[in-house]
Structure 1
Amino acid sequence: MTQSARDDLDFRALMDDVRPLGRARNRADPGRAARGPSEAQLARRESAAAEPQGRDFLSDDFVDLLPPFDPLEFRRDGIQQGVVDRLRHGGYAAQAHLHLLRRPLEECRRALPPFIREARDHDLRSVLIIHGRGREIDSAPNVLRSYLAKWLAQFEEVQAFVSAGQADGGLGATWVMLRKSERARSANRERQQKRRG
């Protein structure tokens, strides 16, 4: 007897007492949907609705700590590397600054969403966030830097971010490029149409 024939017999022996489900019992409990959400689901929904704005996605859950001497870099699909390089070298003027240096992590987490929203509301494109950088991987500035990298990537408004050049704070600061608002895009289209005549 070959190995495959033995495997086939073993399988049949294991599955001998298995029977297909009847047509009436081959679905999940259909009565559950008719009963509506459970108490636990209602409690979770109520808790989620009660969360303050800005805590929706910026959690202080676990984050992989970044090595203190590695630069930050993030860009969304469609953003050219040349734009990121120009951002890194300070090619775009800082239109706003957020200083998080020596502030507790919780305070930084609360300060970031309104800063990003306000910058976007005022049609700002490039902002500089100063956060510091420690020499040890578990130092407070490096922990903040690691969380900041996680948080910034979660904002739809953020197109790219990179560690700043030495003149702007080095690894202790991060340049952030924000998406153009619809108002800025329409103004840009008008300018382009006027140039074309």
Structure 2
Amino acid sequence: MSDHKLPADDSVISFENLMQDVNRHQHDRADIGRAASDQQSLDYKRAAATRETRQVIDGLSSEAAEIVESSDELLFAAPGIQIGLMKRLRKGHIPWEQGLDLHGMTVEQAREELCRFIHDGLRQQARVLLVVHGKAYSQAGAHPILKSLVNDWLRQLHGVMAFCSAQPRDGGTGALYVLLKRKSGKSGLP
């Protein structure tokens, strides 16, 4: 080991000076602490269940699985959807019959309105719906939370066969064309 002298000025602090208030560990076993009592565990589980119940309505969570960007095009097709049908939907060649604008709604309001809108569309045997979710441009630097949530919710809702971002004339990446399942016995698409 070489004799290396440190400068005498106060700007250099030795390792020993830094470690003077540190106490040496006296044993080699980890201290994992006491296990939580059964009551504490039960209270924690109840609180978690209450939080989950508040966040999930109609089977749809208020937390997005994946955050999408404002300019992202969304696309979803259930298994069995024909490519030609998806091309027609994406190009806006299948006219939408009903529309829903979610601008200005809270997450809870939007979730309830979207569920009701899809259920009503199915009951009325609508084929294509337009859902306007917006792009969150009004909040500088904000991610489009509603767009991300709608992307998740539509994938989970019964009767939604496919959806894709709309054509610019109908809202572009701030809106979706939603293809609904038809009840058997109804004639095919136009």
How would you bin the TM-score normalised by the shorter chain?
0.5 to 0.7
Are 2:97 and 1:95 equivalent residues in the alignment?
yes
Percent of aligned positions with the same letter in both sequences? Answer: 31
C-alpha spacing 1:62/1:130, structure 2 compared with 1 (3 Å): closer
In the alignment, structure 1 segments of 5+ residues that lack a partner are 1-39, 190-197
Instruction: State the alpha-carbon separation in 1 of the partners of residues 140 and 82 from structure 2.
Output: 30
Q: What SS does the corresponding residue of 2:60 show, helix, strand or coil?
A: coil
Runs of 4+ more than 6 Å apart: none
Counterpart position of 2:187: 188
State the shift of 1:137 in Å: 9.3
Partner of 1:112: 114
* Deviation at residue 62 of structure 1 after TM alignment: 4.4
> Counterpart of 2:129 in 1: which secondary structure?
strand
Q: Answer 1 or 2: which has greater helix percent.
A: 1
177, 180, 184: which is aligned to 2:179? 177
Deviation for aligned residue 1:105: 1.4
CA distance in 2, matches of 1:145, 1:68: 8
* Separation in structure 1 between the aligned mates of residue 64 and residue 122 of structure 2, nearest angstrom: 28
> Does the CA contact (< 8 Å) of 1:67 and 1:137 recur in 2?
no
**Alpha-carbon contact 2:64-2:152 (below 8 Å) kept:** no
Q: Could you state the TM-score of these two structures normalised by the residue count of structure 2? A: 0.65
Question: Measured at CA, do residues 95 and 148 of structure 1 come closer, stay the same or move farther in structure 2, by a change above 3 Å?
Answer: same
- Show the counterpart of 2:151: 149
- Give me the TM-score of the superposition, normalised by structure 1: 0.63
Q: Bigger radius of gyration, 1 or 2?
A: 2
Aligned length: 139
Residue 120 of structure 1 contacts residue 178 of structure 1 at CA under 8 Å; is this kept in 2?
Answer: yes
